[in-house]
Structure 1
Amino acid sequence: MQKGNAAYIKKMNQKLILKYVMNEQSSSRATISKKLALSKPTVSTLVDQLLEEGWIFETGNGEASTNGGRKPVNLMFNPQKSYIIGIDIGGTNVALGITDLNGKVYAYRDFPTQVNLEHHLFDEIKQSVESMKWELGIDESKILGVGAGVPGITNVKEGTVKEAPALKWKDFPIRARLKEIFNLPIYIDNDVNINALGEHWKGVGRDKKNLIYIAIGTGIGSGIMINGKLYRGSNYSAGEIGYLVTDRVHAENYHPVYAGYGFLESVASGSSIGNQLSERLGRTVSAKEAFDLYQIQDQAALEVVNFAIENLALGIANYVSLFDPELIILGGGVSGSYSIIHKQMVDIMKRYTPKECEIVPTMFGKEAGVIGAVALFLKEFDTLIDI
């Protein structure tokens, strides 16, 4: 066997063993050998290496076999072998966190985006990360790398943001700017894509191979996972559900709420709902207030929100027909009104889809983007962990 092939097989076997220990939480060498159909000497050698490198550790003695003999030593995954920095740069806030290899957030920070956007954004990011490292008492050697999400079409290979209207970025070299701060491996993607990865890894989409995550906030975007892999498209713009045209009549007079936003966003996003109702009432109304007014049957709110829900349901129905996902997850600010919009959305969708699909709200809170960014890093970085 060639040396290169032997090294590859060894690494694949190490990955298999590590993944098994991670999933089982506690296991013995003998059980691993049996379950993975690997020889006991192979398992023993690879486990010793994983122990030496700190990926796993030994804990207590397990249960003795029924025919007696020595109790096996249990093996457990060490999620604190390394830490990962997750960054979610949103149009409103920047969220940052440091997690272990299991995605547990050990430190978290956030700060407003717009007031820092022009001059101090990356200084604030650096300062926040340094503050978290100091809080945890860890140095750079314990940090494996950085994952980051941005609200726009992102060329993940070049590490550039092609267009992010919320940040007024165009062809922005985001990875290069972060490299000025961190001397670490860095992976970048669209913020909705990282949320899809986070849901698939640790959220309500766990164990689902085909899912769609839809974020409804200032705009509307989606992340698509097919057969357990993120689908980005040929130009990294797959999932731009906000550009769907869901009403031909209104589309004839379509004018975006903001430059660079699509038709569905212009009628169904949180900012659009607030802006439309503000115009009708002659005062500033947030999306949250719009839904509050909707619940007390305010006529103007009923018209605006019902039109938004109808278009949103049509857009999601198109997705169900095209992709036949196992699950659709709603996130973003408007998902907070899930209980209000769910029944009406499902009733509309039933009329237009060949098969029903479960729709659920995200269970993540403010740390969603951080966990998603960490999931992106672990997906892309060449390590023994295979999420």
Structure 2
Amino acid sequence: MTGNFQWMKSLNRSIVLNKIREAGPISRAEIAKQTSLTPPTVTHLVNELIAERFVVESEIGTSSGGRKPILLTINASAYYCIGLDVGVKSIKTVITDLNAHPVLEDKQPMPPGIDSDSLLQLLEQTVRRVLDASGLDRSLILGIGVAMHGLVQPEEGIALFAPNLGLRQVPIRAFLEERTGMPVQVENDAAAMALGEMWFGGGQQLRDFISVNIGEGVGAGIVLQGSLYRGSRYSAGEIGHTTVDLNGPRCSCGNYGCLQTLVSGPAIADSMRRHIAMGGTSRCEAMAAGRLESITGEMVFEAARQGDEAARDIFRRMGQLLGISLTNLIHTLNPQKIILGGGVSQAAEFILESVHTAVRSRALESSQANLTIEVSPLGERATPIGAATLVLSKLFAPN
């Protein structure tokens, strides 16, 4: 009975806190009305939340007759979260407040050929460095969220397989919790991005949507009926490893012709190298000082911005392939919205038109009715903010 009482109190507390987050400034009476909790219960829980500095009384509301209500809001700067986006080439880190607004951002390169032990030590060093840079007291940090590429077992916080880094069975959660003394949540990077979109980005108020993270690899975070869908073995959303070309190049996963070998950042650079090697012209050749191996996806993007037709054509073809793959997702899951994030999504002005064209021409009319495809409003911060949201969702979401 004691356990059930504590669970119910914790559940009600999260309901009240999340209602203030969603609807604040809001009065105690309105919280009771919208949550069906009794006014005394709401008053007691709000008093606790104020005492713990999660909530503040912000202003006086309008009265409909009688005493004017005091309105409540989240005390966003009372506590903070750390979010790490562990990519193939870099680690992006944010420290956010309770509204997921970044108060510190950091980016550092990923050392080539890193092993599991070195990665864990690098993550610990990163956490300590950004904490020192922030000047925040450790007691104000609610926890650490880690968005890791590849297959992740979130309950244990283990990176099962990170194909682009060649790592397996990395115990991220256990290591960081022992070394930092903070709670740690670990999730696949695309799933973390989807969580961030659901709470603070383009997925708010939606029950069914897909976020697609396009960078060094390609992955999808799937939200169905308001919850992350991971699949029976945590591999749902690995669209980067779906085959789109039977005779395509070898992928880091060992297969051939995977989507990410054709539409990721490295794939864009490879396309430009082939174009120039076959006699084509592009500004990228001068940018790379004639060294084709030095061409990067970022160079191709910059060339496209400068009007380079070869670069723009590469992005158009990439958008077409991406649109075909998204059509398969649309027919399978019928989402309300698809949100594009990651570094490649920054080239949306050169990609989106061909994505939309491919979807319009291939998707069933009923499947694309009222469907929206857009770029993440969180921009390049989408995944690290999603990592921080792993911690915030534990605070706000009744589980």
Q: Shorter-chain TM-score: which interval?
A: 0.7 to 0.9
Identity level (%): 32
Which sits farther off after the overlay, 14-23 or 130-139?
130-139
Structure 1 unaligned regions, length at least 5: none
How far apart are the structure 2 equivalents of 1:138 and 1:273?
Answer: 40
Change (3 A) 1:321 1:108: same
Shift of 1:12: 2.7
Amino acid at match of 2:155: K
CA contact (8 A) 2:343 2:380 kept: no
Corresponding residue of 1:276 = 271
Shift of 1:164: 1.3
Secondary structure of 1:47's match? helix
Shift >6 Å, 4+ stretches: none
Shift of 1:226: 0.6
- 1:241-268: CA deviations, max 9, x gaps? 1122234xxx1x3331545466212222
1:297 aligns with 2:309: yes
TM-score w.r.t. length of structure 1: 0.87
Change (3 A) 1:151 1:36: closer
Amino acid at match of 2:163: P
How far apart are the structure 1 equivalents of 2:342 and 2:146?
Answer: 17
How far apart are the structure 2 equivalents of 1:301 and 1:81?
Answer: 46
Change (3 A) 1:40 1:333: closer
Corresponding residue of 2:72 = 75
1:148 paired residue among 141, 146, 159: 146
Amino acid at match of 1:224: I
CA contact (8 A) 2:341 2:379 kept: no
Shift of 1:188: 0.7
Corresponding residue of 1:93 = 90
Count of aligned pairs between the two proteins: 376
Shift of 1:121: 4.5
1:364 paired residue among 378, 382, 396: 378
How far apart are the structure 1 equivalents of 2:82 and 2:139?
Answer: 13
Corresponding residue of 1:314 = 324
Shift of 1:38: 3.3
Amino acid at match of 1:269: S
Corresponding residue of 1:184 = 182
Corresponding residue of 1:17 = 16
Change (3 A) 1:260 1:179: farther
Corresponding residue of 2:261 = 266
Which sits farther off after the overlay, 74-83 or 222-231?
74-83
1:37 aligns with 2:49: no
Corresponding residue of 2:344 = 334
How far apart are the structure 1 equivalents of 2:333 and 2:81?
Answer: 32
Shift of 1:269: 2.1
Structure 2 unaligned regions, length at least 5: 278-291
How far apart are the structure 1 equivalents of 2:343 and 2:33?
Answer: 48
CA contact (8 A) 2:342 2:382 kept: no
CA contact (8 A) 2:190 2:211 kept: yes
Change (3 A) 1:32 1:225: closer
Shift of 1:334: 1.9
Shift of 1:89: 0.9
Change (3 A) 1:105 1:49: same
How far apart are the structure 2 equivalents of 1:270 and 1:330?
Answer: 14
- 1:361-380: CA deviations, max 9, x gaps? 1222343222100112233x
Amino acid at match of 1:226: L
Shift of 1:293: 5.8
CA contact (8 A) 1:91 1:114 kept: no
Amino acid at match of 1:93: S
Amino acid at match of 1:321: H
